[in-house]
Amino acid sequence: MSHNFTLEKKFLAGLPVQGYRYIGMLGPKKKFVKMLDALRADEVPEDVYQQAAAAYAPIGLQLGAEGPAEIALAVCAEILAVRKQMAPKHLKDIEGPIHKHVLG
């Protein structure tokens, strides 16, 4: 995204409603809430609003990330967790096999 609130709002409102599995936005949650309020005020269609409201914002998992490389890792980890439909857990807390066995 950019540092331009109006441009980001326009982009978010302009996404075709297609049931995306992942839309993420950088930046503070307060900014995202303000953007949702602005979309409501603009009276965007309800399906557009709901898609925007479902975005992961702020983007990334809480890993204590600092700096670009660690933030990128937190973002990638969140995308993978969503893609695999998994709630992040520590492997040490999982009992039994940690991988699904696939028979070929």
Is residue 95 in some structural domain? no
Res. 21: pLDDT tops 70: yes
pLDDT at 102 over 90: no
pLDDT at 47: 94
Structure tokens at 77: 């980890």
Q: What CATH number does the domain containing 70 carry? A: 3.40.50.720
Domain that holds residue 81: 5-87
Residue 94 lies in a domain: no
> Quick one: which H or E segment has residue 46?
helix 46-53
Q: How many helices (H) and strands (E) does the chain have?
A: 4, 0
Q: How confident is the model at residue 10 (pLDDT cuts 50, 70, 90)?
A: very high
> What average pLDDT score do residues 90-94 get?
84
Helix (H, G, I), strand (E, B) or coil at 90: coil
Q: Tell me which residue of 6, 98, 24, 103 sits closest to 61, measured CA to CA.
A: 24
Average pLDDT over residues 94-99: 80
d(CA 100, CA 75): 24
> What does the pLDDT read at residue 92?
86
Q: With respect to residue 30, please indicate whether it lies within any of the assigned structural domains.
A: yes
